Amino acid sequence: MNTDIADLYVSRTERGSAIIARQEPVVYHQGNYAQALNEQQLERYAKDGFLVIENLFDEHEVQELLAELERLRLDPALKGMPELITEPGDQDALRSLFRVHQLSDRMAELIRDPRLVNVARQVLGSEVYVHQSRVNMKPGLYGKEFFWHSDFETWHIEDGMPNMRAVSCSLLLTDNNEHNGPLMLVPGSHRQFIACEGATPDENYKSSLKVQTVGTPDEVSLKLLIDNGGLESVRAKAGSVIFFECNTMHASSGNLSPWARSNVFTVFNSVENKLEAPRNGLAPRPEYLAARQHTDTIVPATELEPDELLMVG
Amino acid sequence: MNTDIADLYVSRTERGSAIIARQEPVVYHQGNYAQALNEQQLERYAKDGFLVIENLFDEHEVQELLAELERLRLDPALKGMPELITEPGDQDALRSLFRVHQLSDRMAELIRDPRLVNVARQVLGSEVYVHQSRVNMKPGLYGKEFFWHSDFETWHIEDGMPNMRAVSCSLLLTDNNEHNGPLMLVPGSHRQFIACEGATPDENYKSSLKVQTVGTPDEVSLKLLIDNGGLESVRAKAGSVIFFECNTMHASSGNLSPWARSNVFTVFNSVENKLEAPRNGLAPRPEYLAARQHTDTIVPATELEPDELLMVG
């Protein structure tokens, strides 16, 4: 008897689109980690699939991180590196820089910050490592949209991430308002896996990081999710952090305002959820998109007393 | 001695970009027209360059107009007509239908409605005619953005509209919220003419109605306008009307929400501001974009008492 359990989260095969109920918990009540989030925040995260904590970093820290972004943007040593993604149609406009926690000491320090990593350890109920990190700069006036997608769908199919046991943190470095293409999320969407139509082209990531066309939900499923959960755009000040579950459906509009939208984005994955082989016979993506070698457990920069970590949402 | 006055609103020539102060009034206090707008509304319009009047049309009227839109969308007689503009990249997704006041009896009735035409007569201080009319349907999920532009810049250069003495009305047929690509305007921008860079290609309108690339302001001027006036997105219910001055800088984001954004758009031009020859040696655009033949004065469908026309903003 074959004891292999079939992959429940099949996607991008001839089966076509489907809505599949999530199998895993959202909050893993395991281990004995700092209570970085209080009960109310945990409940909110479990229900909506995301949580915004305003002003988690102060103005001085934001200025310091913005200066580091500017330094990275102009660093001639980074030019031509595959980690550097430009805007569609403009080779000089930096859109994202990946693997930033290994390219910058300041960013390495940031991802060990207990305000981030202890939230990840608490919700994932285990030690964690960085699956992916990047800074995103959505320039004013010409920043392009990201269409709807679940990160987990891509990470599962293209990277072989077995389960929904990862959390993304977006630390806002600029104010996000209704005009500058803020993150839009579908509350509750993390409880459904939307299997997508269409096969994955070879080296899909080379274009999908600019404009995503595969791994996006069909119209019927997407409308159903939004009918059920509505839409929420995150309007928050620089220094705020959005924690969102790896399967939460999200998008962002183009930025027609003159105000850039920059953030540091880190994905913490559970050490119990390390990558397997990509699905559908795909070749593994580069290390800077999906860590396979560098999966060392993150030790928080400081071990604060639990009391000091209580956050007010 | 040559008594010709040089055109102040030169644009798209080798002169490059420039900010030129508006020469005309915004509200023309001439004639003796129904006081469709009260003093406060007039002041707001003069100051900001636009005015939103909520719930000017009731739910029944909106439903009736939406049904007419649906009828037009499916009308086989309209297929292939140049008045019909589709979404970039999708020949079947109707984006706009022009000259709609001549293609539909219901729309012909609408543009004679005193709630629209009497506002136009009042602010323009003269009789008016329809320079352009259209219905816009920005479909959910895939509706594309319109970049920043002043309509007057295009109408002046491509259509030879001599002066800033026209007003646009957008009657919302669906609720406009922060998620479905609402109209964004720059308050106060109507007081400056932004001369644009770049020459106009022949038959520019064939592509510009899908994606506008010429006749858009340079980044420095645009940022200056927004620094001065800020940005305002119109969030209002179906049945509301946005009146905006022909030179007000505006744009709209893509629509990633599942909610379509539809409206009826009518441009009333003063009979004292009829079109001349297009500038820069351009050929005139088709009648459905810029009326030259059909410039009959609009008589309101009913002549109500002034009291009945007072609107609360």
Q: Name the DSSP class of A263.
A: E
- Give the C-alpha separation, A170 to A133, whole Å: 10
Instruction: For residue A26, give the nearest of A192, A157, A151 by alpha carbon.
Output: A192
Residues 186-205 of A with CB under 8 A from B: none
CB pairs under 8 A between A and B: 54
| Neighboring chain A residues of B179 at a CB cutoff of 8 Å | 184, 231, 233
What pLDDT shows up at residue A309? 47
Contact (CB<8Å) A256/B147: yes
Closest approach of chain A CAs to the CA of B273, in angstroms?
32
- For chain A, the maximum distance between any two Cα atoms, rounded to a whole number of angstroms, is 62
Of A147, A148, A254, the CB nearest to B253: A254
| ipTM of this complex prediction, to 2 decimal places | 0.84
Nearest to A179 among B147, B231, B254 (CB): B231
Give pLDDT, residue B210: 63
| d(CA B223, nearest CA chain A) in Å | 6
CATH superfamily label, A18-312? q2cbj1_9rhob like domain (2.60.120.620)
B60: closest CA of chain A, how far (Å): 24
Q: Say what the pLDDT of residue A302 is.
A: 61
State how far the alpha carbon of A264 is from the alpha carbons of A36, A98, A172, A237, A241, in Å.
Answer: 20, 10, 7, 14, 9
Instruction: Compute CA distances A243 → A48, A52, A143, A148, A311, whole Å.
Output: 11, 6, 23, 17, 13
**pLDDT for residue A21 is more than 90:** yes
Provide the whole-model pTM. 0.88
Q: Which residue in B140, B219, B254 is closest to A141 by CB distance?
A: B219
- The answer to whether the CB atoms of B145 and A256 lie below 8 A apart is yes
Distance from CA of A302 to the nearest CA of B (A): 40
A 208-227 residues with CB < 8 A to B: 219, 222-223, 226-227
Nearest Cα to Cα of residue A186 among A145, A244, A225, A243: A225
Residue A134 has pLDDT above 60, yes or no: yes
Q: Indicate if the pLDDT at residue A313 is higher than 70.
A: no
Please, what is the Cα angle at B166 between B162 and B168, to 5 degrees? 140
Q: Could you give the CA distance from residue B242 to residue B56 in angstroms, rounded to a whole number? A: 10
Residue B85 bridge partners (DSSP): B96
CA A277 to CA A71: how far, in whole Å? 36
- Among the partner residues B148, B252, B258, nearest to A226 by beta-carbon distance: B258
Q: Where do the structural domains in chain A lie, given as residue ranges?
A: 18-312
Interface touch A256/B253, C-beta < 8 Å: yes
Interface test with B, best of A148, A231, A259 (most B CBs within 10 A): A231
> Which chain B residue lies closest to A141 (C-alpha atoms)?
B219
Q: What is the pLDDT of residue B4?
A: 47
pLDDT tier for residue A311 given thresholds of 50, 70 and 90? very low
- φ/ψ (deg, to 5) at B75: -70, 115
Phi, psi at B46, each rounded to 5° = -65, -40
Distance CA(B254)–CA(A29), nearest Å, equals 40
Q: Which residues of A touch B93 (CB under 8 A)?
A: none
| A179 close to B (CB below 8 A) | yes
Report pLDDT for B63: 97
Among candidates B148, B178, B227 on the partner chain, residue whose Cβ is nearest the Cβ of A256 = B148
CB contact under 8 A, B258 and A147: no
Q: Across residues A167-183, what is the average pLDDT?
A: 95
User: What parts of chain B have a pLDDT lower than 70?
Assistant: 1-5, 87-93, 209-212, 302-313
Rounded distance, CA A265 to CA A306, Å?
25
Q: Tens digits of per-residue pLDDT, A107-127? A: 999 999 999 999 999 999 999
pLDDT value of residue B212:
66
Q: Which residues of A touch B141 (CB under 8 A)?
A: 148, 219, 222
The region that residue A142 occupies, defined by phi over 0 for left and psi between -120 and 50 for alpha, beta otherwise, is alpha
B145 to A258: CB separation less than 8 angstroms, yes or no? no
Number of H-type helices and E-type strands within chain A: 9, 13
Torsion of the alpha carbons at A31, A32, A36 and A39, rounded to the nearest 10: 80
Q: How far is A89 from chain B (nearest CA, A)?
A: 14
Cα dihedral sign, A99-A102-A108-A114: positive
Question: Does residue A270 surpass a pLDDT of 50?
Answer: yes
Q: Which of A179, A251, A257 sits opposite B256 (nearest CB)?
A: A251
**Chain A nearest CA to B109, separation (Å):** 35
Contact B256 A258 (CB under 8 A): no
Q: What is the pLDDT of residues A189-245, one digit of tens each?
A: 999 999 998 888 888 887 776 666 788 999 999 999 999 999 999 999 999 999 999
Chain A nearest-CA distance from B140, in A, is: 10
- Tens digits of per-residue pLDDT, B199-213? 888 888 877 766 667
The two beta strands, A250-252 and A146-149, are: antiparallel
> What percentage of chain A reaches a pLDDT higher than 90?
70
